[in-house]
């Protein structure tokens, strides 16, 4: 809840700042001189409602949509030893990460992949593909589960939704300011809205939306490094590296667009397309994990194991950033 309040407060502050800047720079006066009858404050509020409304609706429906789109089957009662191990591993990692037990599911796909989603960290869904269960050993699966549990514990789904809401707000706001200005100043339309407004607004929204998506994707890439660290923390660094290597050797894995940012892997892009990648290249993630291991070794720190959680709280290694203490 604090995360949501902080982001909402930040967005309100930014909206207020934009309104003040418009006043200081005299943009309101410029609009009035050109008969641009636009209430910027009302537009800012409306844009925030539209921007955040869509994001929060998507978040609220995320688990339902994920199950529908992937055909995931939630394990209500384990049918065999493999499913029992899967559920117990998720349960143990959830306890370590201080979150409630997520739903555990398996979805039909030959690709090596997994994802986590949910509106709240204490009501999440962790799902793995049949291909992952068939092609990975238990150490590697444990690391993948740790990666997904880390996403949940870090509140990544909520944070990504809030960031998307912020950028949506400004995309809606700026596109309509540009469209309104062009309609009144360029096309000299004094009453209502002409075709120019709708055309320019659509084009501006597409352009601003593309630019805004690079911000969202940048955050998405950063959270993958944090989730890899969380996976190493929960399962062991060598297991996490081995899992990433297995995913890399398996090639690109595609998931429904709405879930692409929450999978373990991701498609590889080159050049300008790299700005729109939800995941860093696996080679970079593997290198970062190995580099982190070397840094800990140089600093004289031992790799965290499950036994470290039995030590007194003062002697424990701190939880990854963002996790409850």
3-state secondary structure of 104: strand
* String of DSSP letters for 115-132: EEE-SSTTS-EEEEEHHH
- Annotated active-site residue 148? The verdict is yes
Closest Cα partner for 102 from 65, 146, 54?
146
Answer yes or no: are the C-beta atoms of 147 and 228 closer than 8 Å. yes
3-state secondary structure of 274: helix
Q: What are phi and psi of 74, to 5 degrees?
A: -75, 135
Answer yes or no: are the C-beta atoms of 167 and 208 closer than 8 Å. no
3-class SS shares of the chain: helix, strand, coil, % to 5: 70, 5, 25
Tokens of 128: 């793995």
Cα–Cα distances (Å) from 177 to 14, 36, 37, 55, 200, in that order, read 17, 10, 11, 22, 10
Q: Which residue reads 């009302």 in tokens? A: 42
Plot region of 98 (φ>0 → left; ψ -120 to 50 → alpha; else → beta):
left
Q: Which residues sit opposite 73 in a β-bridge?
A: 106
Which of 140, 148, 224, 229 is the catalytic position? 148
- CA-CA-CA-CA dihedral for 24, 30, 32, 34, to nearest 10: -170
Q: Which long-range contacts (CB under 8 A, 24 or more apart) does 279-283 make?
A: 279/220, 279/221, 279/224, 280/221, 280/224, 280/225, 282/244, 282/247, 282/248, 283/248
Answer yes or no: are the C-beta atoms of 103 and 63 closer than 8 Å. yes
Active-site amino acid positions: 148
């Amino acid at each position: 809840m604090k995360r949501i309040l902080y982001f909402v407060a930040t967005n309100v502050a930014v909206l207020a700042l934009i309104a003040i800047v418009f006043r200081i720079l005299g943009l309101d006066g410029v609009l009035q001189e050109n008969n641009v009858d636009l209430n910027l404050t009302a537009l800012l509020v409306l844009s925030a409602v539209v921007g955040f409304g869509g994001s929060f609706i998507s978040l609220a429906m995320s688990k339902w949509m994920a199950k529908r789109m992937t055909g995931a089957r939630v394990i209500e009662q384990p049918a065999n030893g493999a499913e029992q191990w899967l559920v117990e591993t998720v349960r143990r990692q959830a306890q370590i990460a201080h979150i409630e037990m997520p739903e555990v599911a398996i979805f039909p796909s030959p690709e090596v992949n997994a994802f986590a989603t949910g509106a709240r960290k204490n009501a999440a869904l962790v799902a793995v593909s049949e291909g992952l269960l068939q092609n990975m050993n238990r150490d590697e699966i444990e690391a993948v589960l740790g990666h997904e549990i880390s996403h949940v514990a870090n509140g990544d789904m909520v944070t990504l939704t809030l960031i998307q809401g912020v950028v949506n707000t400004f995309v809606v706001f700026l596109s309509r300011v540009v469209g309104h200005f062009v309609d009144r100043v360029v096309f000299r339309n004094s009453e209502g809205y002409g075709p120019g407004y709708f055309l320019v607004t659509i084009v501006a929204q597409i352009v601003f939306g593309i630019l805004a998506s690079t911000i969202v994707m940048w955050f998405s890439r950063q959270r993958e490094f944090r989730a890899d660290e969380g996976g190493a923390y929960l399962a062991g660094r060598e297991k996490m590296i081995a899992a990433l290597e297995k995913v890399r050797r398996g090639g690109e894995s595609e998931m429904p667009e709405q879930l692409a940012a929450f999978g373990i892997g991701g498609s590889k892009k080159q050049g300008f397309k790299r700005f729109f990648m939800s995941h860093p290249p696996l080679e970079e993630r593997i290198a970062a994990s190995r580099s982190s291991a070397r840094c800990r070794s140089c600093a004289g720190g031992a790799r965290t194991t499950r036994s470290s959680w039995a030590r007194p709280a003062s002697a424990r290694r701190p939880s990854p950033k963002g996790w409850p203490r």
